[in-house]
Amino acid sequence: MLEMEGGSLADIVRVDIHLTDLHAIQDMDSVYAEYFEPGRYPARTCTESPNLCGGSSIEITVMAKRANH
């Protein structure tokens, strides 16, 4: 969706992550780190939410800055 609007992962300024089991945060962190430059991580909130939509184990919402048009 970011690319469709002319953006990229570098434009993400905030990430909200919901895990069904907060003990999985280390696994999630290792994958998360693959998508952002070291030292340039967006602001992040990570919470435990045992009942996610569709039975998934993780839900992620991002907020990105929009390029001036």
Over residues 3-28, mean pLDDT? 94
Residue 27, pLDDT score: 94
Residue 31, pLDDT score: 93
Domains located in the chain, CATH noted:
3-64 (3.30.1330.40)
Sheet holding 12-19, edge to edge: 43-48, 12-19, 58-64
